[in-house]
Amino acid sequence: MSVYRHMLDGCSRQPSGREYRSASWAVLDTECTGLQLGLDRVIELGIVWGRGGETEGEWCRRFWSPRSVGESVSIHGIADEDLVGEQPYADYAREVAEILSVPGRLVWAWNAWYDCSMLRREHDLAGIPLPQGTWRELQHLPFLLGMEPTINRPSLTQICRRLGIKRGKAHRALDDARDAAQILIRCYKEEV
pLDDT at 89: 98
Question: Which residue has better confidence, 71 or 12?
Answer: 71
Nearest to 133 by CA among 104, 166, 170, 94: 104
The model's confidence at residue 16, banded by pLDDT at 50, 70 and 90, is: very low
Q: Which CATH fold topology does 3-189 show?
A: Nucleotidyltransferase; domain 5 (3.30.420)
Enumerate the β-bridge partners of residue 14: none
**SS3 at position 18:** helix
Question: Whole-angstrom Cα distance, residue 16 to residue 188?
Answer: 13
The residue-averaged pLDDT of 7-35 equals 66
In the chain, the percentage of residues whose pLDDT exceeds 90 is 54
pTM here? 0.86
Average pLDDT, the chain: 84
pLDDT at 52: 86
Q: What is the pLDDT of residues 108-129, one digit of tens each?
A: 999 999 999 999 999 999 999 9
The model's confidence at residue 69, banded by pLDDT at 50, 70 and 90, is: very high
Query: For the chain, how big is the Rg over CA atoms in Å?
Result: 16
Residue 104 predicted with pLDDT over 90: no
pLDDT at 48: 98
Give the orientation angle of helix 156-163 with respect to helix 173-189, to 10 degrees: 40
Burial of 114: CB neighbours in 10 Å, binned 0-12, 13-18, 19+? middle
